[in-house]
Amino acid sequence: MGEELKIIFAGPVGAGKTTAIGAVSDRPPVQTEAAPTDEVRQMKASTTVAMDYGEVQLDEDHHLNLYGLPGQERFSYMWDILARGALGFVVMLNSDADPPATQLGLLETGLGQHLREAPVVVTLTGSRRDEHAVVQETRAALSTMEVFWPVMSISPWKRAEVATVLQVLLAELEFANP
Ligand SMILES: Nc1nc2c(ncn2[C@@H]2O[C@H](COP(=O)(O)OP(=O)(O)OP(=O)(O)O)[C@@H](O)[C@H]2O)c(=O)[nH]1
Ligand SMILES: [Mg+2]
Q: What is the pLDDT of residues 35-80, one digit of tens each?
A: 998 889 999 999 999 999 999 999 999 999 999 999 999 999 999 9
Q: Enumerate the domain spans of the chain.
A: 3-176
* Superfamily of chain region 3-176: P-loop containing nucleotide triphosphate hydrolases (3.40.50.300)
Helix residue spans in the chain (DSSP H): 17-24, 77-83, 100-115, 131-144, 159-176
* Mean predicted confidence (pLDDT) in 151-156: 97
Query: Do 91 and 105 meet the contact criterion of CB atoms below 8 Å apart?
Result: no
**pLDDT value at 2 more than 80:** no
Query: Residue 85 has what pLDDT?
Result: 95
Pocket of ligand 1 (CB under 6 A): 11, 13-19, 44, 47-48, 70-71, 157
For residue 1, pLDDT over 90 is answered with no
CA distances from 91 to 7, 25, 43, 103, 152 (A): 11, 17, 20, 10, 10
Longest dimension (CA), the chain: 46
Q: pLDDT, tens digit, for every residue of 18-39? A: 999 999 999 999 999 999 988 8
Q: What totals of helices (H) and strands (E) does the chain contain, helices first?
A: 5, 8
- Centre of ligand 2 to C-alpha 50, Å, is 9
11 pLDDT above the threshold of 70: yes
More confident residue, 154 or 176: 154
> What local confidence, expressed as pLDDT, does residue 37 receive?
87
Q: How far is CA 39 from the centre of its chain?
A: 22
Q: Which amino acid is at 11?
A: G
DSSP tag of 29:
P
Contact 138, 124 (CB under 8 A): yes
Find the 18 Cα to ligand 1 centroid distance in Å.
7
Q: If you measure from the C-alpha of residue 1 to the centroid of ligand 1, how many angstroms do you get, rounded to a whole number?
A: 30
Residue 106: pLDDT over 70: yes
| Nearest Cα residue to atom 5 of ligand 1 | 157
Higher pLDDT, 17 or 39: 17
CA-to-CA distance for 149 and 91, rounded, in angstroms? 10
How remote is the CA of residue 79 from the centroid of ligand 2, in Å? 13
pLDDT band at 110 (very low <50, low <70, confident <90, very high): very high
Comparing C-alpha atoms, which of 4, 6, 28, 24 is closest to residue 16? Answer: 24
Global model pTM greater than 0.95: yes
Give the span between the Cα atoms of 19 and 93, in whole angstroms: 13
The ligand that comes nearest to the alpha carbon of residue 75 is 1
